[in-house]
Structure 1
């Protein structure tokens, strides 16, 4: 999935945008890492039958990323 469709599918509220921006800056994440976080957050939102990515879903996806689990690094 390329970045353009991803950002159309992954609608985030203002507080979520701020959280993602701050996380990228504080952890030094790349755009690719940001896209991975968005994909996981979208999946979490789907599990909760939500049409938008709420800040709580984004925070959960960031926590999974912070664990450094297998699959996040490529």
Structure 2
């Protein structure tokens, strides 16, 4: 994740299985990381949480189906 943004432990715990379980590659991981950071910025928070990662994964899955 971004070294300038703190990532909560639950968010990191969620990210691993999401990547492995969905069969996503490193490029997809990077996109999820960047989208998570954007969601945090829009939310006005200083830490990436589970909800931010979940949102980013959902957007990635939408992008994958198109």
TM-score (norm 2): 0.84
Question: Which structure has the highest strand share of the two?
Answer: 2
Task: Map residues 18-57 of structure 1 onto 2, 5 A cutoff.
Answer: 18-57=13-52
Looking at structure 2, the residues matched to 68 and 46 of structure 1 have their Cα atoms a distance apart, in angstroms, of 21
Q: Which runs of 5+ in 2 are unaligned?
A: none
Contact 2:2/2:37 (CA < 8 Å) preserved in 1? no
Shift of 1:25: 0.8
Question: What runs of 5+ residues in structure 1 fail to find an aligned partner?
Answer: 1-5
TM-score by length of 1: 0.76
Task: Return the structure number with greater helix share.
Answer: 2
Moved over 4 A (4+): none
CA-atom RMSD in angstroms = 1.8
Q: Which structure would you say has the larger RCO, counting Cα contacts within 8 Å and 6 or more residues apart?
A: 2
